[in-house]
């Protein structure tokens, strides 16, 4: 069982600091997923934990021991990269056994581990094949098998599924979830895929420009984003975020964006004459009658998927609004519709981008 802790970890390449003092606690057996835009430091942080990059400041602690000066080979972690380069001239068996042979492990023990990993990953029939005679998904499983046989303290995955086609990704995603359930090991997983993050993670860590924007359970991040960055990042399609001026209206506030005014109740921390951002997810916008509407908008694009419908709408003074409705909705491009925002699911952020309310009283 393995705990990993980062204390004020800083990383600079020359003059340029790319990780700005990250604190993080990863519990034993936890599946942690790092997400964030390209260049935010996901791989760097993973490589720091693995011991492939030195920190410029702070501490990496594994099971209570500061490992800053412990080389990667002695940290007992296994990393699976996006480009998982198998040895082309070796059989699948040999690819998995190679590291253990180098470590002078007894032959029977190697055989036991490789056989067990192959069984777990369902690649037993291919053990004598070369990697080029395998499909992408089978190769990916060999790469994961190579990590499993080492019986590492923790698994570090850097976008391990991004080379696979969509169908295979879904299959491998389910296998990884099953693998974690069986092995119970500590896992840190980097991905760009929202669904992978939401479904695999016990904890999602959202990184932004070398800082942690928020860390928490997937649905907590979805329901209670702490700032506009996380609000816009978690969820696909993304939350509608609208900048507004705040005006008092007697009982609450008017959020004014150009020609559009949204009335909301009192929000603690919100001040008249300041600016704010409000957010509403596509599934929290209802199509309603004119009298009841917050916004009247024109449909610019209607995506009919059969089981669900996405409408992309424009209204004077607002950014394009995405509306999600279950089922089929006979709405066409150019049509004018009336929209109502579910106050109980609306988010309000202050001028600094930090949250004032996740959900408003109704």
Ligand X SMILES: Nc1ncnc2c1ncn2[C@@H]1O[C@H](COP(=O)(O)OP(=O)(O)OP(=O)(O)O)[C@@H](O)[C@H]1O
Residues near Mg ion, by CB under 5 A: 43
Binding flag, residue 12, ligand X (CB under 6 A): no
Query: How far is Cα 29 from Cα 48, in angstroms, rounded to an integer?
Result: 20
In a 3-state reduction of DSSP, which class is residue 228? helix
Instruction: Give the nearest distance from C-beta 121 to ligand X in angstroms.
Output: 25
Token readout for 55 is 């920190």
Binding flag, residue 160, ligand X (CB under 6 A): no
Instruction: Give the nearest distance from C-beta 151 to ligand X in angstroms.
Output: 27
Binding flag, residue 191, ligand X (CB under 6 A): no
User: CB–CB of 27/5 below 8 Å?
Assistant: no
User: CB–CB of 67/75 below 8 Å?
Assistant: yes
Number of residues that bind ligand X (CB under 6 A): 10
User: CB–CB of 57/10 below 8 Å?
Assistant: yes
Say which entry of ligand X, Mg ion, none residue 39 contacts (CB below 5 to 8 A, set by partner kind): ligand X
Instruction: Give the nearest distance from C-beta 3 to ligand X in angstroms.
Output: 23
Give the nearer residue to ligand X in terms of CB position, either 121 or 207: 207
Say which entry of ligand X, Mg ion, none residue 40 contacts (CB below 5 to 8 A, set by partner kind): ligand X
Say which entry of ligand X, Mg ion, none residue 41 contacts (CB below 5 to 8 A, set by partner kind): ligand X
234-239: long-range pairs with CB below 8 Å, 24+:
234/35, 234/194, 234/197, 234/204, 234/206, 235/194, 235/281, 236/194, 236/195, 237/282, 237/310, 237/322, 237/324, 238/322, 239/279, 239/280, 239/281, 239/282, 239/347
Instruction: Choose which of 9, 24, 44, 242 interacts with ligand X (CB under 6 A).
Output: 44
Binding flag, residue 43, ligand X (CB under 6 A): yes
Give the nearer residue to Mg ion in terms of CB position, either 45 or 120: 45
Binding flag, residue 22, ligand X (CB under 6 A): no
Binding flag, residue 178, ligand X (CB under 6 A): no
Instruction: Give the nearest distance from C-beta 234 to ligand X in angstroms.
Output: 16
Backbone angles phi, psi at 278, to 5 degrees: -115, 155
Backbone angles phi, psi at 156, to 5 degrees: -115, 120
Query: How far is Cα 135 from Cα 324, in angstroms, rounded to an integer?
Result: 37
Instruction: Choose which of 3, 7, 10, 18 interacts with ligand X (CB under 6 A).
Output: 18
User: CB–CB of 185/29 below 8 Å?
Assistant: yes
Binding flag, residue 10, ligand X (CB under 6 A): no
Binding flag, residue 40, ligand X (CB under 6 A): yes
Binding segment toward ligand X, per CB under 6 A, in 31-39, 162-170, 218-226, 309-317:
31-39
Instruction: Choose which of 32, 33, 42, 235 interacts with ligand X (CB under 6 A).
Output: 42
Backbone angles phi, psi at 331, to 5 degrees: -115, 135
- CA proximity to 134, closest of 148, 147, 149, 118: 118
Instruction: Give the nearest distance from C-beta 41 to ligand X in angstroms.
Output: 4
Give the nearer residue to ligand X in terms of CB position, either 38 or 73: 38
Residue numbers of the site for ligand X (CB under 6 A)? 13, 18, 36, 38-44
């Amino acid at each position: 069982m393995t705990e990993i802790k980062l204390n004020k970890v800083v990383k600079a390449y020359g003059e340029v600091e790319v990780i700005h003092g990250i604190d993080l606690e990863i519990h034993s057996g936890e599946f942690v997923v790092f997400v964030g835009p390209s260049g935010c430091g996901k791989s760097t942080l993973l490589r720091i934990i693995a011991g492939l990059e030195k920190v410029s400041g702070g501490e990496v602690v594994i099971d209570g021991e500061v490992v800053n000066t412990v080389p990667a080979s002695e940290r007992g972690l296994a990393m699976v990269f996006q480009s998982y380069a198998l040895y082309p001239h070796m059989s699948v068996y040999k690819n998995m056994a190679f590291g253990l042979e180098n470590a002078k492990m007894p032959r029977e023990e190697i055989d036991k581990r490789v056989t067990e990993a192959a069984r777990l990953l369902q690649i037993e029939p291919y053990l004598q094949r070369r990697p080029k005679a395998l499909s992408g998904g089978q190769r990916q499983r060999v790469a994961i098998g190579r990590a499993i046989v080492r019986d590492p303290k923790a698994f570090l995955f850097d976008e391990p599924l991004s080379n696979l086609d969509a169908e295979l990704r879904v299959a491998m995603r389910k296998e990884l979830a099953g693998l974690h359930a069986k092995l119970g090991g500590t896992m840190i997983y980097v991905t760009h895929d929202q669904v992978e993050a939401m479904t695999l993670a016990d904890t999602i860590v959202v990184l932004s420009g070398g800082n942690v924007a928020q860390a928490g359970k997937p649905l907590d991040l979805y329901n209670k984003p702490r700032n506009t960055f996380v609000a816009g990042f978690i969820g696909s399609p993304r939350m509608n975020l609208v900048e507004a001026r705040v005006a008092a209206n007697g009982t609450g506030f008017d959020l004014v964006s150009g020609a559009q005014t949204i009335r909301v109740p009192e929000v603690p921390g919100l001040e008249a004459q300041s600016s704010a951002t409000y957010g509403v997810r596509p599934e929290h916008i209802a199509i309603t009658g004119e009298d009841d509407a917050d916004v009247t908008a024109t449909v610019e694009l209607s995506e009919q998927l059969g089981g669900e419908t996405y409408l992309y709408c424009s209204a004077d003074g607002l950014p394009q609004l995405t509306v999600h409705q279950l089922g089929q909705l006979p709405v066409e491009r150019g049509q004018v519709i009336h929209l109502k925002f579910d106050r109980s699911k609306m988010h309000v952020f202050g001028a600094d981008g930090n949250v004032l309310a996740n959900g408003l009283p109704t």
